[in-house]
C-alpha cells in the first residue's frame, strides 16, 4: 500500500473550487479533524489536507504549523498527486528531488480523488525530522485520504444521501450527527461496532447515554459549547454496551440543516495512543538519564525521577524552577544559547549542575525545540566519571607521547599488513624522513633489500609470540645510504581489536664505530706487549754485540779491513738500538718523565731543526695561539713526535708543498668523551700539523697507527713512526685525530692535557 516516493513525473490532475456553502464548510471541518487525527495517529508534528484550485494549492485542514510552511510542500504535493498509493519520503535531505526543500525532512501523503477519478488534492503528515511510518500509520493516512476523497465524491454525486452514508461508514473513526436533544440522526457502522449497539438500539440512544456519570457532565458541557461557539473537542472514555471503557477523542462542529442546528463530528479511538503514552511514561520514569520538558523561559514543566536520584533535590521543588538556577554560572550562556534560545532542530551542550550537597557534576544535554507548542524537550546525561576517565586517559596519552617523542630510539607501530601506523621524531633522525610522510606506507620500502627477508621473518614470529628476537638490519636513508639499526619489538593490540607490532629501532652507527676503535686499541696494546718482549730480548743481544765489538776494536793488531768491518757492525747495532727504543716507547714501558711544558715555546725552539728536515723545496708555517696553558709532557718524546710528523709530511709531498703547525685550546664535554674510547673530558692543548701532500686513502686510516704498517715502498719505511707517535701521545694521556682527503693532504690533531697549576 505504501510507496517510497517513486520517481515519476508530477501530474497536475484536476482543480476544484471550494466555496462557502454548508457542505463545503463540512468538508473544511472534516479536513481539519482528519489532519488532527493524523497527528495523533502518526506521532508527527504537522498534518494538512491540500486541494488544488485554479490559483494553486489550498490548505483546507492545517494542524501543527503556520501558513508559511505550506509553500515548502509544493514539490511533495506535486509528486503525491501523481502516486496511486501512500507516498512516503523518510528523509528529503537524501532525495535529490526534494533537497531544495530539505526544511521539511519527512513527508507522507496520499492523493484525494474526485467523483471523476482525477486527483484533486493530498492528505499528508510531515515533520522537520526524518522518520518512518508503520503499516498501521500508513493505513491511517490511506483511510484518511479515502475519507476526504469520499467527501469530494459525495460533493459531486447525485445520490448525495447514500453517498454520505457510505462515506460515513468508511471513516476510520466514529461519525455522528445529532440534534440539540442529543438524538442521533446519522452515525457510521464503526460507531455501532465500537459501542456494541445494533442499528435499532443505537437509534434509541442519546449522545450522553454512551458515557458514565463521571464524564457525562463534561460531555454535556462540550455539547452545549459546540452549539454556542460552533465547535469543541473532548477526550473521554466511551462506555460500550458491555461496559468496556474505550478512550476516545471527540470533535464537534455546529451545522445547520433545514434551518435547525446540529452537531456533526468524529471520534478517534485513542487506545493505541494511550498505550503508547503509558509505555512512554514507563520509560520516562525508569530512564537513568535526566529527562525534562522546559518552557520558553527554561522553566521545568516536567521531570523524571532520575533528577531527584542524581541531584538529590526533590522533583516537586524543581518543578517551576529555572534550569539555569542549577547550572554553574560559567555555563549559563552556553545553555541559554545552545538549548533555550534554539527555535528548532537538535541541540547539544555540556554544563555543570549543582547537587544537593553543593558539588558540581558534568552533564551532556541533548534537546529539541517544539516551536508550535513553545516547549523544549531535553535529556541530560551525567558524564562526570566519563569526563574524569577521559581527562586521565588524555593525560596518560600525553605523557606516553612525550616519552615516545623524546626517546633517542625510533619507535614505530606497524600494522599486520605491514603499513606504518605511527612513528616518533627519532625516526626522522635515522632515515631523514618526517614521520608523517611514512604513515600508511609499507615499512619494507625502508629496509635494505638484502635484509628484508630477515626483517619479515622476525615480524612474522609475533603471530605466535609476544616478542621478537633482537636482530640487526640495515635501513635506507632518504639519500639511499644504508644505516645499521638494532631492532626489537613486541605485539600490541590496535583499535578494532587488530594486532600490530611495536618496534624499537636503535641507530648503532656510533656503537659500531666505537667497537671498531676499541678493537684497534686492543690490537695496538697486544702488538705493543709483543713489541716490548721482542725489544727487551733484542736489546740484550745488541748489548752483547756492542760490547764484543768494542773489545775487538781495542785490539792493536787489527787490519784496516777488519777494523772497518767492526765499525760497520757497531754502527748497525747502534741503529738497531734506536729501533728497540722505539719499540719500548710504543709498548709504554719506556721511562717517561713528564713536566709542565709551554707547547708554543717547544715548537718555536724546534722550528730550525724541523725546517732542515723538510728541506728547501718545502715551506713551514707556524701559527701559535696566544695564552696557551702549560701542558704536562716529556720534551724528548714530544720532539720525536714532531720529527715523525714532519718526516711523514715531507715524504707525502715529493714535489714540494707546505706544512702548517698551529696550536689551540680545546674544551672536551663529557658527552663527547663518552662516545670515544680515547677521549677524556677536560681542557687540552691541541697541536695541529697539516700538509698539502697526497693524503691518506680511506681504507688505510683504520690501520694508520698499527706497528709495522706502512704505505711506503719496501725498504723506505719501518712502520714504527706513527705507531711510536700514537704511543707517546697516549703516554701523555692524550689522543690523536686524523683528518685526510686523498689528493688534498692530511692533518694530525694531537691533544695533550693541561698541567695542573
pLDDT of residue 560: 82
Q: What is the pLDDT of residues 65-99, one digit of tens each?
A: 888 888 888 889 999 998 889 999 999 888 888 87
pLDDT at 162 over 80: no
Task: Say which residue, 733 or 170, is predicted with more confidence.
Answer: 733
Q: For residue 637, what are the CA distances in angstroms to 594, 674, 731, 748, 753?
A: 10, 28, 10, 17, 15
Calculate mean pLDDT across residues 530-554: 66
Residues 179 and 157 in one domain: no
Do 116 and 14 meet the contact criterion of CB atoms below 8 Å apart?
yes
Please indicate, yes or no, if residue 280 is contained in any of the structural domains. Answer: no
Please indicate, yes or no, if residue 631 is contained in any of the structural domains. Answer: yes
pLDDT at 160 over 60: no
Q: What is the pTM of this model?
A: 0.35
pLDDT of residue 449: 85
Residues 144 and 179 in one domain: no
pLDDT at 465 over 70: no
Per-residue H/E/C for 714-738: CCCCCCCHHHHHHHHHHHCCCEEEE
pLDDT at 466 over 70: no
pLDDT of residue 497: 63
Average pLDDT value for the chain: 81
SS3 562: helix
Cα Rg for the chain, rounded, in angstroms? 53
Residues 611 and 719 in one domain: yes
Residues 117 and 181 in one domain: no
Q: Of 387, 422, 439, which residue constitutes the final position of a domain?
A: 387
Please indicate, yes or no, if residue 168 is contained in any of the structural domains. Answer: no
Name beta bridge partners: 491.
Answer: 501
pLDDT band at residue 4 using 50, 70 and 90 as cut-offs = low
Please indicate, yes or no, if residue 99 is contained in any of the structural domains. Answer: yes
Please indicate, yes or no, if residue 157 is contained in any of the structural domains. Answer: yes
Q: What is the pLDDT of residues 186-214, one digit of tens each?
A: 888 889 998 999 989 999 999 999 999 98
Q: What percent of the chain has pLDDT over 90?
A: 22
Calculate mean pLDDT across residues 58-70: 87
pLDDT at 250 over 80: yes
Residues 604 and 728 in one domain: yes
Residues 546 and 568 in one domain: yes
pLDDT of residue 331: 92
pLDDT at 163 over 60: no
Instruction: Describe the chain by its helix, strand, coil percentages, rounded to 5.
Output: 45, 30, 30
pLDDT band at residue 8 using 50, 70 and 90 as cut-offs = very low
pLDDT of residue 158: 43
For the ranges 95-104, 316-325, 538-547, the one whose mean pLDDT is highest:
316-325
pLDDT of residue 448: 84
pLDDT of residue 7: 45
Residues 720 and 624 in one domain: yes
Residues 183 and 111 in one domain: no
pLDDT of residue 517: 64
**Helix or strand holding residue 332 (H, E):** helix 332-335
Q: What is the pLDDT of residues 695-741, one digit of tens each?
A: 887 877 776 777 666 666 544 555 566 777 887 888 888 888 888 88
CA pair distance 33, 61, nearest whole angstrom: 8
pLDDT at 216 over 90: yes
Please indicate, yes or no, if residue 397 is contained in any of the structural domains. Answer: no
pLDDT of residue 10: 45
Residues 707 and 604 in one domain: yes
Domain extent, residue 350, equals 287-387
Instruction: Look up the CATH number of the domain holding residue 374.
Output: 3.30.450.20
Joined together, the cell numbers standing for residue 589 give 714501558
CA pair distance 599, 630, nearest whole angstrom: 7
pLDDT at 529 over 60: no
**Phi and psi of 477, rounded to 5°?**
-80, 180
pLDDT band at residue 9 using 50, 70 and 90 as cut-offs = very low
Task: Say which residue, 637 or 134, is predicted with more confidence.
Answer: 134
Number of domains in the chain: 6
pLDDT of residue 713: 53
SS3 54: coil
Instruction: Look up the CATH number of the domain holding residue 110.
Output: 3.30.450.40
Calculate mean pLDDT across residues 117-126: 90
Q: b/e for 297-322, b at 16 or more Cβ within 10 A?
A: ebbbeebbebbbebbebebeebeeee
Residues 224 and 358 in one domain: no
Please indicate, yes or no, if residue 279 is contained in any of the structural domains. Answer: no
pLDDT at 223 over 90: yes
Contacts of 413 (CB under 8 A, 6+ apart): 420, 421, 422, 423, 492, 494, 500, 501, 502, 503
Contacts of 544 (CB under 8 A, 6+ apart): none
pLDDT of residue 685: 92
Do 461 and 469 meet the contact criterion of CB atoms below 8 Å apart?
yes
SS3 248: strand
Calculate mean pLDDT across residues 649-665: 90
Residues 383 and 330 in one domain: yes
CA pair distance 365, 543, nearest whole angstrom: 105
CA pair distance 59, 296, nearest whole angstrom: 29
Among 420, 410, 457, smallest CA distance to 442 is for: 420
pLDDT of residue 159: 42
In the sheet with 618-623, reading across from the earlier edge strand, the strands are 618-623, 657-668, 682-691, 746-753, 735-740
pLDDT band at residue 527 using 50, 70 and 90 as cut-offs = low
pLDDT at 585 over 70: no
Q: What is the pLDDT of residues 439-448, one digit of tens each?
A: 888 887 788 8
SS3 673: helix
Measured N-to-C along each axis, helices 560-586 and 721-731 cross at an angle, to the nearest 10 degrees, of: 50
Calculate mean pLDDT across residues 127-139: 90
Please indicate, yes or no, if residue 394 is contained in any of the structural domains. Answer: no
Residues 521 and 552 in one domain: yes
Task: Say which residue, 526 or 478, is predicted with more confidence.
Answer: 478
Q: Of 586, 615, 642, which residue constitutes the final position of a domain?
A: 586
CA pair distance 157, 163, nearest whole angstrom: 7
Among 700, 706, 681, 687, smallest CA distance to 740 is for: 700
Calculate mean pLDDT across residues 560-574: 74
pLDDT at 607 over 50: yes
CA pair distance 350, 598, nearest whole angstrom: 77
Q: Of 264, 298, 329, which residue constitutes the final position of a domain?
A: 264
Amino acid at each position: 500500500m505504501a510507496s517510497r516516493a517513486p520517481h515519476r513525473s508530477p501530474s497536475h490532475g484536476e482543480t476544484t473550487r471550494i466555496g462557502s456553502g454548508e457542505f463545503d464548510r463540512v468538508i473544511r471541518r472534516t479536513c481539519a479533524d482528519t489532519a488532527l487525527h493524523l497527528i495523533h495517529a502518526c506521532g508527527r508534528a504537522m498534518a494538512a489536507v491540500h486541494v488544488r484550485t485554479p490559483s494553486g494549492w489550498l490548505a483546507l485542514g492545517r494542524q501543527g504549523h503556520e501558513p508559511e510552511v505550506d509553500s515548502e510542500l509544493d514539490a511533495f504535493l506535486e509528486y503525491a498527486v501523481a502516486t496511486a498509493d501512500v507516498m512516503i519520503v523518510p528523509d528529503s535531505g537524501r532525495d535529490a528531488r526534494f533537497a531544495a526543500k530539505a526544511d521539511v525532512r519527512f513527508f507522507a501523503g496520499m492523493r484525494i480523488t474526485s467523483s471523476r477519478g482525477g486527483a484533486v488534492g493530498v492528505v499528508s503528515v510531515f515533520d522537520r525530522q526524518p522518520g518512518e511510518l508503520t503499516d498501521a500509520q500508513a493505513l491511517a493516512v490511506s483511510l484518511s485520504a479515502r475519507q476526504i476523497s469520499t467527501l469530494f465524491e459525495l460533493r459531486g454525486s447525485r445520490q448525495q444521501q447514500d453517498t454520505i452514508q457510505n462515506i460515513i461508514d468508511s471513516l476510520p473513526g466514529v461519525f455522528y450527527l445529532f440534534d440539540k436533544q442529543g438524538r442521533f440522526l446519522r452515525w457510521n457502522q464503526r460507531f455501532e461496532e465500537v459501542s456494541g449497539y445494533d442499528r435499532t438500539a443505537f437509534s434509541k440512544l442519546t449522545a450522553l447515554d454512551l458515557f458514565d456519570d463521571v464524564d457525562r457532565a463534561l460531555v454535556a458541557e462540550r455539547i452545549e459549547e459546540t452549539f454556542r461557539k460552533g465547535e469543541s473537542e473532548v477526550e473521554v472514555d466511551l462506555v460500550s454496551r458491555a461496559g468496556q471503557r474505550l478512550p476516545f477523542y471527540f470533535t464537534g462542529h455546529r451545522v445547520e440543516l433545514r434551518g435547525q442546528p446540529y452537531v456533526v463530528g468524529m471520534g478517534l479511538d485513542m487506545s493505541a495512543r494511550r498505550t503508547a503514552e503509558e509505555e512512554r511514561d514507563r520509560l520516562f520514569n525508569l530512564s537513568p538519564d535526566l529527562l525534562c520538558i522546559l518552557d520558553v523561559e527554561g522553566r521545568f514543566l516536567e521531570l523524571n525521577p532520575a533528577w531527584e536520584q542524581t541531584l538529590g533535590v526533590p522533583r516537586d521543588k524543581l518543578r517551576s524552577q529555572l534550569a539555569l538556577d542549577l547550572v554553574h554560572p560559567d555555563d549559563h550562556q552556553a545553555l541559554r544559547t545552545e538549548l533555550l534560545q534554539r527555535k528548532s532542530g537538535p541541540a547539544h551542550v555540556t554544563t555543570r549542575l549543582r547537587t544537593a550537597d553543593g558539588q558540581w557534576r558534568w552533564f551532556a544535554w541533548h534537546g529539541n525545540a517544539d516551536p508550535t507548542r513553545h516547549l523544549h524537550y531535553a535529556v541530560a546525561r551525567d558524564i562526570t566519571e566519563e569526563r574524569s576517565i577521559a581527562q586521565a586517559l588524555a593525560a596518560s596519552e600525553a605523557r606516553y607521547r612525550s616519552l615516545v617523542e623524546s626517546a633517542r630510539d625510533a619507535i614505530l607501530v606497524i600494522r599486520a599488513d605491514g603499513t606504518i601506523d605511527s612513528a616518533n621524531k627519532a625516526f626522522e633522525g635515522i632515515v631523514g624522513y618526517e614521520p608523517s610522510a611514512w604513515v600508511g606506507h609499507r615499512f619494507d620500502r625502508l629496509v635494505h633489500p638484502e635484509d628484508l627477508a630477515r626483517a619479515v621473518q622476525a615480524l612474522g614470529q609475533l603471530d605466535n609470540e609476544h616478542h621478537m628476537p633482537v636482530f640487526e638490519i640495515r635501513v635506507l636513508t632518504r639519500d639511499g645510504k644504508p644505516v645499521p639499526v638494532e631492532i626489537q619489538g613486541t605485539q600490541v593490540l590496535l583499535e578494532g581489536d587488530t594486532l600490530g607490532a611495536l618496534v624499537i629501532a636503535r641507530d648503532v652507527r656510533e656503537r659500531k664505530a666505537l667497537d671498531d676503535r676499541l678493537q684497534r686499541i686492543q690490537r695496538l696494546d697486544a702488538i705493543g706487549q709483543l713489541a716490548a718482549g721482542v725489544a727487551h730480548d733484542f736489546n740484550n743481544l745488541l748489548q752483547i754485540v756492542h760490547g764484543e765489538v768494542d773489545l775487538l776494536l781495542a785490539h792493536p793488531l787489527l787490519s784496516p779491513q777488519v777494523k772497518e768491518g767492526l765499525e760497520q757492525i757497531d754502527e748497525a747495532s747502534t741503529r738497531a738500538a734506536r729501533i728497540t727504543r722505539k719499540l719500548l716507547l710504543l709498548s709504554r714501558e719506556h721511562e717517561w718523565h713528564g713536566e709542565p711544558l709551554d707547547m708554543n715555546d717547544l715548537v718555536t725552539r724546534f722550528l730550525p731543526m724541523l725546517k732542515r728536515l723538510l728541506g728547501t723545496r718545502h715551506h713551514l708555517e707556524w701559527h701559535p695561539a696566544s695564552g696557551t696553558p702549560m701542558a704536562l709532557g716529556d720534551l724528548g718524546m714530544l720532539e720525536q713526535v714532531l720529527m715523525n710528523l714532519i718526516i711523514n709530511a715531507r715524504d707525502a709531498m715529493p714535489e714540494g708543498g707546505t706544512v702548517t703547525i698551529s696550536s689551540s685550546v680545546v674544551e672536551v664535554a663529557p658527552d663527547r668523551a663518552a662516545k670515544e674510547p680515547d677521549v677524556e673530558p677536560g681542557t687540552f692543548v691541541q697541536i695541529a700539523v697539516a700538509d698539502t701532500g697526497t693524503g691518506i686513502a680511506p681504507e688505510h686510516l683504520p690501520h694508520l697507527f698499527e706497528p709495522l704498517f706502512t704505505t711506503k715502498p719496501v725498504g723506505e719505511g719501518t712502520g714504527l713512526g706513527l705507531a711510536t707517535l700514537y704511543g707517546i701521545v697516549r703516554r701523555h694521556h692524550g689522543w690523536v685525530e686524523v683528518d685526510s682527503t686523498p689528493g688534498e693532504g692530511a692533518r694530525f690533531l694531537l691533544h695533550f692535557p693541561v698541567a695542573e697549576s
